[in-house]
Amino acid sequence: LILTRHGDSIWNGKETFTGWTDVPLSPIGEQEAIRTGQLLTQHTSGVVIDALFTSTLSRAKMTAHHYQVPRQYLIDHRLNERHYGALQGLVKSDAELGLFGHSPSEVLEWRRSWHAVPPLLDEEDPRRLEELRLYGNLCDGVQNVPRGESLAMVASERIRPFLKDRLTPLLDKGGTALIVAHANSLRALIGHDSAALRKLEAMKIPTASPLVL
């Protein structure tokens, strides 16, 4: 199993809460993806990637484009980044300074805690309406499209079903999988056990850096 976060996006450099906002890679991110693809090719010579899984978001799909061609290329919305609710589009440092009405401790808890849920996206927010249009069918109904998520919600409602339905059956057969996803969906994926959970607060996942398990 090979895990990697997408390359640098145009909002990563601005330190902006991105979540389900579909932003592309930055020029730096494109180069990161190319270099990582070359690195993976060198170090997995002779290894067949049975399935490459990526989220629906452009920054993950653009990164995956530069990696080894797999036997199967599968897009799954359950690998999307954590939904940051009403924080999406806000600059993190501004939010931490209280410019949007939230205390620094609240913002830090929303960012790093396992159970904290950020302020939810309003039902009438244009961003919400667009997400309902894009994800209503994928989520088996608009009522299942999140308005904001904790890491625990990402793990239990998205990642755990993904593991059961898609990943575990492949690995149990001896297959090799490459997952290109996001900082928080990867945190949820590798942080489901208690030891990893204790380290979660300090976990920083760099862009376009593969982790082989």
Structure confidence at residue 198 (pLDDT):
52
Residue 119 in tokens: 């302020």
Interatomic CA distance for residues 186 and 183, integer angstroms: 5
Task: Choose, from 30, 32, 81, 149, the residue flagged as catalytic.
Answer: 81
Residues of the chain with pLDDT under 50: 193, 196-197, 200-201
Which domains, ranges and CATH numbers included, belong to the chain?
A: 2-121+149-212 (3.40.50.1240)
Structure confidence at residue 46 (pLDDT):
81
The verdict on whether residue 18 carries a ligand-binding annotation is: yes
63-91 pLDDT, tens digit each? 999 998 899 999 999 999 999 999 999 99
Structure confidence at residue 195 (pLDDT):
52
Catalytic residue flag (residue 6): yes
Task: With CA atoms as reference, report the closest residue to 39 among 9, 7, 17.
Answer: 7
Backbone conformation region of residue 166, classed left if phi is above 0, alpha if psi is from -120 to 50, else beta: alpha
Residue found by looking up tokens 């996001």 in the block? 182
Task: With CA atoms as reference, report the closest residue to 167 among 177, 157, 154.
Answer: 177
Coil, strand or helix at 5:
strand
Structure confidence at residue 201 (pLDDT):
46
CA distances from 19 to 10, 132, 173, 195 (A): 13, 15, 33, 26
Q: Supply the DSSP symbol for 142.
A: G
The verdict on whether residue 115 carries a ligand-binding annotation is: no
The verdict on whether residue 14 carries a ligand-binding annotation is: no
Catalytic residue flag (residue 81): yes
Coil, strand or helix at 140:
coil
